[in-house]
Amino acid sequence: MNWIKRLIHNDSNIFDLSPLEEGGSGVAAQIPLFAPSVPDEEMPVVRPAHPFAPVIIAIGSGKGGVGKSVISSTLGILLAQQGEKVLLVDADLGAANLHTFLGSGNGETSLADFFKGESQTIEGFIEKTSIPGLDLVSGMQDVHRDAADLGGKRIGVLQQALRSTEYDYVLLDVGPGTASNTLAIFMIADEGIVVTTPEPTSIENSYRFLNCLFLKMLKRNISVQKNEELRSLLHRVLEGRKGKGARTIAALTARIREIDERQGKAVETAMGRTALSIVINQVKRNGDGEIGHMMERACYDFFGIDVHHLATIDYEDCVVDSVRARRPLGIYRRESQAVRKLEGVMKSLVQKRREHV
């Protein structure tokens, strides 16, 4: 674990939201800095209205090319094969290709059309797939001119529209990186899965993805507080300064609790309810099998939040072959090790849902 901790610790300032996006745009420009009051555009946290509302699961990553869409599509297939009613949503704003992993063409309607329109429901943008029980909302294949300005209100409408559907599960295949829209869409889920590979660049980007996500969550939780000292502390941190020696998210939440114990406990409780997991994909070396548990411990040390290691999946040629053949992995190579590992993930998701119904 030492090299992972060094990778994180050697970052001169974890609150410096330096450029992380593929394409070179800076995170600082993408994530709004703290404001004294919460604008109407900030998306509220919407919980299921009843126990039979669909469970929304977001699958994201710090960088592209880690196998996120293969995992999303395979999980959707496996859930559908178990009799669950599943909706896959390609939420990659600009490079959508989830339909390719399902072996189908991009639909006549897409998430882009939903965002462009005034519809409050998602049903008109859903298309059937060839797999019984599995439906799809296709994504944006080209960067939509309004994609950078979706705003919290429109994403909030998407969240409510998904919660109002009659599916058991909604799987969001979220685009890579840390753009504001990407993080906001990831945050509408009940549970998040972060996919990474064993390479140091992928692990570093995953850490930064989580760092930006937790900072955005802190901003959202503290924005509604009335304590000006809390606001001032977070404002300094989000501007890139160290905030009275708070070097990590865990140290920052501890500092908040020192300022106001009651409100600090409320923030810690809200952050502690975060349901996040890590999947290590495309593992090629025996020693890399421990990286998931190493990241799990490192995340707790630096974020103070449990980020559960969900699965480690070895690299297999059949995964690439299935994409080239435009045949879903869950059907093309049902006996593969990757599918067996994802079956374990699927069973844990189903079990968790049953425990909460």
Domain that holds residue 148: 2-356
pLDDT tens digits for range 178-213: 988 899 999 999 999 999 999 999 999 999 999 889
pLDDT tens digits for range 224-279: 666 777 777 777 665 654 444 566 778 778 877 887 788 778 878 878 788 999 99
Q: What is the number of structural domains in the chain?
A: 1
Query: In Å, how far are 12, 57, 202, 301, 352 from 209, measured between CA atoms?
Result: 17, 17, 10, 16, 25
What average pLDDT does this structure show over 318-334? 87
55 band by pLDDT with thresholds 50, 70 and 90: very high
The proportion of the chain whose per-residue pLDDT surpasses 70, expressed as a percent, equals: 77
* Strands 127-128 and 169-174, bridge-based pairing: unpaired
Contact 102, 74 (CB under 8 A): no
Average pLDDT of the residues of the chain: 79
Of 191, 161, 160, nearest to 174 (Cα)?
191
What average pLDDT does this structure show over 25-35? 29
Q: Pick left, alpha or beta for residue 43 (phi over 0 → left; psi -120 to 50 → alpha; otherwise beta).
A: beta
Contact 140, 110 (CB under 8 A): yes
List the CATH number of the domain containing 277. Answer: 3.40.50.300
